[in-house]
Amino acid sequence: MRENTGLSTQVHIKSRTVGIFPSKAEYSLLAQQSLKLQNFCLQNLANSVQNLQLIALRIEFSAKMEEYLQCMKTLRTQMSDVEDEAVKITAEEQMQITTLQNLEDEINSVKCQTSQLREEIARILEKRGQICSMILEKQRKIASLGADSSTLNQTSELLQQERNNMSAKLLQKSDYYAKTVEEVTAQLGEQQGWIKDCKQNLWVGDNGQVMDKVGEKTGEIEENQDNLAEILKMNLADAKTKLNQMSELKSKLVTENSQVRRSIELVKSKMNDFKAQLGDMDSKSLQEEYQALLSDKAGEAEYLHSLQLQIAKLMIISHSIKCSCGNEFKIDMDLCG
């Protein structure tokens, strides 16, 4: 209706302009109508522009709504994926926490075993030191007893040799004295026989010659008897001296034998002071026991070295955990506690 009114006004204006020139009133009226028409056109144009803007806004809003809905769908999909990933990460973290707790329990157990092993090694080393000191003391005592025994054996052998030598000398002297007595007895027998013969011949031969011969023989016999008596006295004195020396040596031997017996008794008493097990063991058994202790020490050192290697391997353990926030944490084993 408004468009039709505008067309009629334009026709009316054109029809009016065909005629005579308008007056001022008409001209002002025409100007007013022209202004109204311009305002009306401008208003219609503004309304059209507003309508076009509304349509464009509606089109843009619908496109943005579709994009928003698509973004919401994508976001929901991503959120479900993130939730699944979070569940997986939570499960993995729980497994890693359980593994770490198990490792900490094992490390605590290893620490306890290591402390117990160190205490046991300290006790074993202390016992080994005591046993080594006892073995050294026993070895010194055994060496001292061996030296005393060897000295006593040598002294006993020397005394036995001296005794044998003195016995041999006494036998030689007794044989010599027996031979001397036999010779003297034989000479006396011969002289007594000769005297008997001379006495028998007194009745047969010349008394003077016989008496002279008897006197000569008697003088010789007396001289021989005096010489033999002196020799026998000297031999007897020598024999007494030898017997005195032998008695002194015998007393010395008795004294030394008593000393040897006392030394042997002292050695036996010292041996009895030892422990029964160590006393029954010889030096070879003691050496074997010492070697066994050394082998036990080597085995304990090897076991301790293996434990130290295991602890070093546990200290090397390192694990990286990635959090859902994007940060990455590194977990290391700490054995300082």
Amino acid 8: pLDDT: 42
Two structure tokens written together for 308: 């130290």
**238 & 164 share domain:** yes
**40 & 100 share domain:** no
**35 & 107 share domain:** no
Q: Which residues contact 278 (CB under 8 A, 6 or more apart)?
A: 134, 138, 286
First CA to last CA across the chain, in angstroms? Answer: 98
φ and ψ of 203, to 5 deg: -80, -15
Amino acid 268: pLDDT: 66
pLDDT higher than 80, residue 60:
yes
Amino acid 320: pLDDT: 62
Note the pLDDT tens digit of each residue in 134-158.
Answer: 888 877 877 777 777 777 777 777 7
In a domain, 81, yes or no: no
Average pLDDT over residues 75-96: 89
Q: CB atoms < 10 A from the CB of 202, how many? A: 13
**Is there a contact between 30 and 22 (Cβ–Cβ < 8 Å)?**
yes
Q: CB atoms < 10 A from the CB of 180, how many? A: 14
Domain around 238: 89-332
**41 & 106 share domain:** no
User: Cα(157)–Cα(150) distance, rounded to whole angstroms?
Assistant: 10
pLDDT higher than 80, residue 221:
no
Amino acid 9: pLDDT: 42
The DSSP 8-state label assigned to residue 319 in this structure reads E
**133 & 222 share domain:** yes
Residue 43 Cα distances to 3, 38, 50, 163, angstroms: 13, 8, 10, 168
**104 & 11 share domain:** no
In a domain, 28, yes or no: yes
Pick from 35-39, 134-138, 182-186: least confident = 182-186
Q: CB atoms < 10 A from the CB of 135, how many? A: 19
pLDDT higher than 70, residue 122:
yes
Note the pLDDT tens digit of each residue in 202-212.
Answer: 554 444 454 55
Helix (H) or strand (E) holding 332: strand 328-332
**173 & 39 share domain:** no
**Sign of the alpha-carbon dihedral angle for 308, 313, 314, 318:** positive
Domain count, the chain: 2
Average pLDDT of the chain, as a whole number = 71
**67 & 106 share domain:** no
Q: Where are the beta strands (DSSP E) in 161-289?
A: none
**264 & 134 share domain:** yes
In a domain, 122, yes or no: yes
**68 & 202 share domain:** no
Degrees (nearest 5) of the Cα angle 24, 28, 32?
Answer: 170
Average pLDDT over residues 115-120: 86
| AA letter at 129 | G
**21 & 170 share domain:** no
**26 & 154 share domain:** no
Amino acid 12: pLDDT: 45
Pick from 151-160, 166-175, 260-269: least confident = 260-269
Band (pLDDT 50/70/90 cuts) for residue 336 is very low
- In sequence order, what are the beta bridge partners of 301? none
Nearest by Cα to 40 from 67, 77, 70, 1: 1
The structure's pTM equals 0.31
